Each structure stands twice: as structure tokens, then as C-alpha cells.
Amino acid sequence: MNFSFLTDHWQMFAHGAWVTLKLSFFGVILGTLLGIFLALLRLSGVWVAKAVSSAYVEIIRGTPLFVQILLIYYGLTEFGINMSAFMAGVVALTVNSSAYMAEVFRGGIEAIDKGQTEAARSLGMPRGMTMYHIVLPQAFRNMLPAIGNEFIIIIKDSSLVSTVGIAELLYNARTIQGSLFLTFEPLLVVSACYFIMTFTLSKLLGALERKLRTR
């Protein structure tokens, strides 16, 4: 195997890794915020909100991310909505991540002892304040491993956005494959880059989880 191509093309892998991290970061952060909103809708007493949220979660979880990317990037143009490939990638990852995060947060919120909520309400604390100050902080601490796992999944799944021309890791690797007529080595480099990112993230999240447990 010959990896001498890295001397002249390492910048492409570095740029691709940076794009991958940006896609994953925005996808998880926005997906988490939307997921919290969807979880609260599913836990509300309004049946319409519960039905809409449940339908959204089931549809998104029941369809492939690849199809969602194509629908957002190409399908929305039929309705006059045109967005850049990067923005379409962020939207697709956000939509996909939010459905899974909604279930994570719903489970985490339901796992909190209801006695705490009832105690807060008996002290006159409004429902929204109770959720914000008491329930969500504890739920977030319990769900941190699941959130970190979703981040790692999104980093790996972001390779699918290369199909719409985003110059992330896999896209750049394929470009190098075509220009240098290499098949195996660029994919090994990409695999190493993904491993470094996900391994580093898992260790950082593990350290954060242990720090939160000591508080």
C-alpha cells in the first residue's frame, strides 16, 4: 500500500473532516432542541400535539436518512425552496436526529420521579418552570450517554450527504480516488479519520459524564 498521496492531499482530508464535524455539530444541536420540543409535545395533554409528534417520530425513524437527504435537497425545489447542499445536509441531519432525540428525552423525562414534580407544583412552581429547573437538568444528565451516542452516529451517517455534493470526508476521498486511480488507500485514511473523531468524542463525553456524576 502506498500513502504518499497524503503529502499533497492531506489538506483535502483535513477540510473534509472539518466539514463533517460542522455538519454533525449543527445536526445534533438543532436536532436536540427540536427533539426536546417534540418530546414535550408527546408528553402534553393535548391529543393533537401528541398525534402530530408521534407521527413525525414514526415517519422519520421509519425512513432511511439517505432518502430524507434526497427529498430535502431535490424534493423541496418542487415547492420553490432552494438551499445550498450544506444547508440541506444540516436540515436532513437535524430532522433525522430530532426524531431519535425526541424518544431519548421522552424516556429520560418519564424516568424522573414524579414525586419531585408534584412537590414543585405543591410549592406553587408553574409547570414550565418545573420542567426547566427540575426535570430537564436531571433528564439531561441521565441521557448524556445516549446524546453522545447520537452524536457519534450522526458523524458516521454524515457520509451520506456526499451524494448531494458536499465536500466532506467521503466526498473528498472519492475525488482523490478518481484523480489518482487509487481505490483502497483513501478509504483507509477516511476510516482512520472517522475513528479518531468518534473515539475522541466518546472519551470526552465519558469524562463529562464522570464529572457530572461527582456533583
Domains, the chain, ordered by start: 8-213 (1.10.3720.10)
Instruction: Reduce the secondary structure of the chain to three states and give it as a string.
Output: CCCCCHHHHHHHHHHHHHHHHHHHHHHHHHHHHHHHHHHHHHHCCCHHHHHHHHHHHHHHHCCCHHHHHHHHHCHHHHHCCCCCHHHHHHHHHHHHHHHHHHHHHHHHHHHCCHHHHHHHHHCCCCHHHHHHHHHHHHHHHHHHHHHHHHHHHHHHHHHHHHHHCCCCHHHHHHHHHHHHCCCCHHHHHHHHHHHHHHHHHHHHHHHHHHHHHCC
- Record the pTM: 0.84
Q: What is the pLDDT of residues 112-166, one digit of tens each?
A: 777 777 777 777 777 777 777 777 777 777 777 888 888 888 888 888 888 877 8
The per-residue pLDDT for range 8-61, each reduced to its tens digit, is 888 988 988 899 999 999 998 999 899 989 988 888 878 898 999 999 999 999
Q: Supply the pLDDT for residue 13.
A: 87
In this prediction, residue 215 has a pLDDT band, given cuts at 50, 70 and 90, of low
